[in-house]
């Protein structure tokens, strides 16, 4: 089977049994791989009924048909299990080299059940696998684990996915570490590994992915490389990383600040953005497998309390969660917090959100210093953040509460704290504000894995930077209107599912033509002859499978919500930039020193500064209309209920939030419908 190894490794940690199973061509055609195929496997294994931190949970590490090929963005892998953070379908992806190496080692995926009595790691080399003791690795950080396995196996370039102390201590947002710059960060899948006493999976292989049409595939690859070389977003990521648009985000109030209270913090964004990183501490960049963009930052801090050499630079989400959310404007302190989370194995979004929530609870008098271990938590206190991260990873003192995430923290604290514990389905919201882009509120509420910004293309679609007409994402959206967002969100979710099943980086997918580049690449790799309609169906099928998993886990329409704080006007500051002036647009020139221009957002009339590199891609956002502060306040709040009504119609969900049986049958998921709706029960409105 071209594009695939045709083989999955099943591992039972309880009895130590390892078994190769065939990946059928029928399943490959129907689910592609990655996220959608993982959903099929976990649904069939009834993981929705498992204890997320029990031996009965299943965790799958999956690749796709493009993984390990030479297409840019194809180095990723997906991890899925029932999430200990949300209780629903947990899935997260990571870049780097592990995914490609797993394919080279002879497997399309690894499916793990059971739990070991003592720590183990899984070693795979050239199609052979074995479980080995990991007692000596237990308690080690991410980099120590990677180095330890490499030395023990005598393999310098083996690739490892592992957990740190946070995963071992079952922190509900523990991540999977896949290299110094790469993490499957969200939904707490590191805790699933920790509960199974699985310290790591390490792989080494030399096989090549066989392609159906090699020359055609390489021609398409060249075309994709040319698109990326000319794309303004890719250029921005290359020059300034994901934090390069921090100032842009702050002036449209997209950057959560002080636990989602503050609309604008210009002095903070001036110090924390990717441009300032490039001018001060940047010492290099890194790329994932086969990717020309190089969005990863390498930084050096020569002296001071956070001095370090060639360390991992923080991504946008971390700059916000450890910076603006805490009112910390010191990029060196944020870098230290980032590296600490990386080594301990914690999702920076959830960790930062939990600390900001704790700070506000103390400030509001809902808890006392006895709950913080005697600490008078202050906004802007960077050293406190570092101390709390250590405690959370080890579940010590106030860290035991922090390790639970904001949903459970608010349930324990009560007293109205639920109002500002910002999450959906238990997962802390990412660092993009739905009051700036209303469609995000709907995307957060309906994502099967909880509040998510990266398994769909809502943000770039709503901004009007890219369109995907084949998926119903046509452009022309008013960012601070809740009208017409349902089809856009559903379409961008389906597109995201295709990316997660291919498996391919969203940063690469976004600028590409699905019809002229992505689809031909998939067909040249596999020879399956998929049509565009097939791709849309795979995306929709995968989404509905994950939704069905959540339904079977007990989630209903009542869980399609976002915390009130993120849906109401900001408590401090104003989301207007009326004192700014619309500047002349300029075309792209190669990056040297950043040249910041100010342009007006087409739909909003708010002013956003962008470096010259990004201006071309944002040209369609130009508009000179200005809204008063009062008008902006009125338009700031997303109408989630309105969007949900439209969305349920588009997705064909019943009033309980379940897909109608006829919709599932249309997607070739009749067996899923039978599981969800036994003969004694019918969908209320089918």
Same domain, 263 and 307: yes
**Among 90-99, 245-254, 459-468, 583-592, which stretch is predicted with the lowest mean pLDDT?**
583-592
Q: What is the pLDDT of residues 417-455, one digit of tens each?
A: 999 999 999 999 999 999 999 999 999 999 999 999 999
Same domain, 245 and 381: yes
Same domain, 535 and 407: no
- Over the range 628-665, which residues count as b (16 or more CB within 10 Å of their CB) and which as e? eeeebbebbbbbbeebbebbbeebbbbeebbbbbebbe
* SS3 category, 109: strand
Q: 3-state DSSP helix/strand/coil percent for the chain, to nearest 5?
A: 45, 15, 45
Report yes or no: 328 and 382 within 8 Å, Cβ to Cβ.
Answer: yes
The last residue of one of the domains, among 378, 395, 428, is 428
Q: What is the pLDDT of residues 179-235, one digit of tens each?
A: 999 999 999 999 999 999 999 999 999 999 999 999 999 999 999 999 999 999 999
Q: What is the pLDDT of residues 76-134, one digit of tens each?
A: 999 999 999 999 999 999 999 999 999 999 999 999 999 999 999 999 999 999 999 99
Check pLDDT > 80 for residue 597: no
Report CA torsion sign: 443, 631, 420, 607: positive
Q: What's the N-to-C CA distance of the chain in angstroms? A: 39
Q: Give residue 252's domain range.
A: 232-428
Higher pLDDT, 45 or 681: 45
Same domain, 556 and 407: no
Q: What is the pLDDT of residue 578?
A: 32
If one counts the domains in the chain, the total is: 3
Q: What is the band of 245 on the pLDDT scale with cuts at 50, 70, 90?
A: confident
* SS3 category, 284: strand
Report yes or no: 510 and 498 within 8 Å, Cβ to Cβ.
Answer: no
Q: Is 457 part of a structural domain of the chain? A: yes
Give the integer Cα–Cα distance in Å for 128 and 107: 10
Element spanning 38, H or E: helix 34-44
The last residue of one of the domains, among 384, 401, 428, is 428
Check pLDDT > 70 for residue 591: no
Q: Is 579 part of a structural domain of the chain? A: no
Which CATH number belongs to the domain containing residue 353 in this structure? 1.10.569.10
Give the integer Cα–Cα distance in Å for 30 and 41: 13
Q: Is 300 part of a structural domain of the chain? A: yes
Same domain, 69 and 149: yes
Q: Give a three-class secondary structure readout of 142-202.
A: HHHHHHHHHHHHCCCCCEEEECCHHHHCCCCCECEECCCCCEECCCCHHHHHHHCCEEEEE
Half-sphere exposure of residue 663: CA atoms within 13 angstroms, side-chain side: 24
**Hey, how many other C-beta atoms are within 10 angstroms of the C-beta on 183?**
27
Q: What is the pLDDT of residue 342?
A: 98
Q: Is 588 part of a structural domain of the chain? A: no
In terms of Cβ atoms closer than 10 Å to its own Cβ (0-12, 13-18, 19+), residue 292 is middle
**Among 98-102, 634-638, 655-659, 671-675, which stretch is predicted with the lowest mean pLDDT?**
634-638
The torsion angles phi and psi of 532, rounded to 5 degrees, stand at -65, -35
Among candidate residues 71, 70, 82, 78, the one with its CA nearest the CA of residue 496: 78
In terms of Cβ atoms closer than 10 Å to its own Cβ (0-12, 13-18, 19+), residue 127 is middle
Check pLDDT > 80 for residue 576: no
Q: What is the pLDDT of residue 631?
A: 66
Among candidate residues 525, 408, 465, 459, the one with its CA nearest the CA of residue 63: 525
Q: Is 109 part of a structural domain of the chain? A: yes
Distance of alpha carbon 329 from the chain centroid: 24
Element spanning 138, H or E: none
Question: What is the chain's alpha carbon radius of gyration, rounded to the nearest angstrom?
Answer: 23
Give the integer Cα–Cα distance in Å for 217 and 69: 9
What percent of the chain has a predicted confidence (pLDDT) above 90? 86
Higher pLDDT, 323 or 573: 323
Distance of alpha carbon 605 from the chain centroid: 29
What percent of the chain has a predicted confidence (pLDDT) above 70? 90
Q: Is 626 part of a structural domain of the chain? A: no
- Mean pLDDT for the chain? 92
CA angle 610, 612, 616 (to 5 degrees): 90
- In angstroms, the Cα distances linking 579 to 263, 303, 523 are 16, 38, 52
Same domain, 462 and 558: yes
Transcribe 630-672 into DSSP letters: HHHHHHHS--HHHHHHHHHHHHTB-TTS-B-HHHHHHTT-HHH
Which CATH number belongs to the domain containing residue 196 in this structure? 3.60.9.10
The torsion angles phi and psi of 160, rounded to 5 degrees, stand at -125, 135
Q: Is 276 part of a structural domain of the chain? A: yes
Give the integer Cα–Cα distance in Å for 442 and 193: 31
Please state the length of the chain.
686
Q: Is 537 part of a structural domain of the chain? A: yes
**Among 272-276, 350-354, 534-538, which stretch is predicted with the lowest mean pLDDT?**
272-276
The last residue of one of the domains, among 428, 452, 479, is 428
Q: What is the pLDDT of residue 686?
A: 55
Give the integer Cα–Cα distance in Å for 672 and 544: 10
Report yes or no: 551 and 559 within 8 Å, Cβ to Cβ.
Answer: no
Same domain, 413 and 559: no
Give the integer Cα–Cα distance in Å for 148 and 143: 8
Which CATH number belongs to the domain containing residue 447 in this structure? 1.10.599.10
Among candidate residues 58, 10, 46, 3, the one with its CA nearest the CA of residue 25: 3
Whether cis (ω within 30° of 0) applies to the bond prior to 395 is: no
pTM of full prediction above 0.85? yes
Q: What is the pLDDT of residue 530?
A: 99
The torsion angles phi and psi of 617, rounded to 5 degrees, stand at -70, -20
The torsion angles phi and psi of 595, rounded to 5 degrees, stand at -120, 110
Report yes or no: 318 and 334 within 8 Å, Cβ to Cβ.
Answer: yes
Same domain, 445 and 407: no
**Hey, how many other C-beta atoms are within 10 angstroms of the C-beta on 377?**
22
Same domain, 318 and 455: no
Same domain, 109 and 66: yes
Q: What is the pLDDT of residues 295-348, one digit of tens each?
A: 999 999 999 999 999 999 999 999 999 999 999 999 999 999 999 999 999 999
Same domain, 259 and 385: yes
Q: What is the pLDDT of residues 265-282, one digit of tens each?
A: 988 988 999 999 999 999
Same domain, 376 and 421: yes
Among candidate residues 178, 126, 184, the one with its CA nearest the CA of residue 7: 126
Q: What is the pLDDT of residues 127-153, one digit of tens each?
A: 999 999 999 999 999 999 999 999 999
Q: What is the pLDDT of residues 467-487, one digit of tens each?
A: 999 999 999 999 999 999 999
Give the integer Cα–Cα distance in Å for 494 and 500: 10
């Amino acid at each position: 089977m071209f594009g695939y190894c045709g083989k999955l490794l099943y591992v039972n940690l309880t009895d130590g049994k390892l078994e190769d199973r065939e990946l059928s061509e029928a399943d490959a055609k129907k689910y592609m791989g990655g996220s959608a195929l993982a959903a099929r496997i976990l649904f069939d294994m009834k993981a929705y009924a498992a204890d997320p931190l029990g031996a009965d949970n299943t965790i799958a590490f999956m690749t796709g048909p493009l993984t390990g090929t030479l297409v840019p963005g194809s180095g990723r892998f997906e991890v899925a299990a029932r999430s200990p953070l949300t209780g629903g379908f947990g899935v997260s992806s990571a870049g780097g080299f592990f995914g490609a190496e797993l394919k080279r080692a002879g497997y399309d995926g690894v499916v793990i059940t059971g739990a070991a009595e003592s720590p183990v790691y899984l070693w795979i080399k050239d199609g052979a696998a074995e479980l080995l003791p990991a007692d000596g690795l237990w308690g080690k950080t991410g980099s120590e684990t990677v180095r330890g396995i490499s030395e023990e196996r005598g393999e310098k370039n083996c690739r490892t996915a592992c957990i740190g102390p946070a995963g071992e201590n079952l922190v509900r947002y523990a991540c999977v570490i896949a290299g110094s710059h790469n993490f499957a960060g969200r939904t707490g899948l590191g805790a699933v590994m920790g509960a199974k006493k699985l310290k790591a999976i390490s792989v080494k292989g030399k096989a090549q992915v066989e392609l159906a049409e090699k020359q055609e595939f390489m021609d398409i690859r060249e075309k994709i490389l040319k698109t990326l070389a000319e794309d303004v977003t890719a250029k921005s990521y290359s020059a300034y990383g994901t934090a390069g648009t921090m100032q842009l985000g702050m002036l449209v109030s997209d950057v959560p600040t002080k636990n989602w209270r503050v609309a604008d913090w210009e002095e903070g964004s001036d110090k924390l953005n990717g441009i300032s990183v490039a001018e001060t501490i940047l010492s290099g960049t890194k790329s994932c497998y086969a990717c020309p963009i190089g969005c990863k930052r390498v930084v050096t801090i020569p002296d001071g309390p956070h001095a370090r050499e060639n360390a991992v630079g923080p991504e946008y989400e971390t700059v916000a969660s450890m910076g603006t959310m805490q009112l910390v404007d010191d990029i060196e302190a944020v870098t230290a917090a980032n590296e600490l989370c990386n080594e301990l194995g914690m999702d920076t979004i959830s960790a930062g959100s939990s600390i900001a929530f704790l700070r506000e609870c103390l400030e509001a008098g809902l808890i006392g210093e006895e709950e913080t271990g005697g600490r008078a938590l202050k906004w802007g206190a960077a050293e406190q953040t570092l101390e709390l991260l250590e405690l959370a990873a080890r579940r010590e003192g106030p860290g035991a509460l922090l390790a639970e995430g904001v949903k459970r923290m608010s349930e324990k604290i009560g007293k109205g704290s639920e109002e500002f514990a910002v999450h959906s389905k238990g997962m802390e919201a990412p660092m993009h504000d739905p009051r700036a882009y209303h469609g995000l509120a709907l995307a957060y509420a309906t994502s099967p894995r909880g509040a998510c910004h990266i398994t769909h293309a809502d943000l770039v679609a709503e901004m009007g930077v890219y369109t995907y007409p084949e998926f119903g994402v046509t452009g022309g959206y008013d960012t601070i209107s809740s009208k017409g967002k349902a089809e856009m969100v559903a379409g961008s979710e389906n597109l995201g599912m295709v990316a997660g099943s291919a498996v391919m980086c969203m940063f690469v997918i976004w600028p590409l033509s699905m019809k002229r580049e992505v689809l031909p690449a998939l067909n040249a790799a596999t020879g399956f002859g998929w049509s565009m309609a097939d791709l849309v169906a795979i995306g929709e099928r995968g989404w509905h499978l994950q939704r069905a998993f959540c339904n079977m886990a007990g989630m209903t329409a009542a869980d399609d919500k976002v915390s009130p704080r993120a849906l109401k006007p900001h408590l401090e500051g104003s989301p207007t930039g009326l004192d700014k002036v619309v500047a002349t647009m300029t075309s792209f020139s190669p990056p040297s020193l950043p040249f910041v221009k100010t342009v007006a957002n087409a739909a909003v009339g708010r002013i956003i500064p962008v470096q010259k590199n990004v201006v071309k891609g944002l040209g369609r956002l130009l508009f000179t209309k200005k809204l008063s502060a009062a008008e902006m306040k009125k338009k700031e709040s997303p109408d989630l209920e309105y969007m949900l009504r439209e969305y349920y119609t588009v997705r064909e969900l019943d009033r309980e939030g379940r897909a109608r049986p006829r919709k599932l049958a249309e997607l070739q998921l009749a067996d899923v419908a039978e599981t969800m709706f036994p003969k004694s029960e019918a969908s209320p409105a089918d």
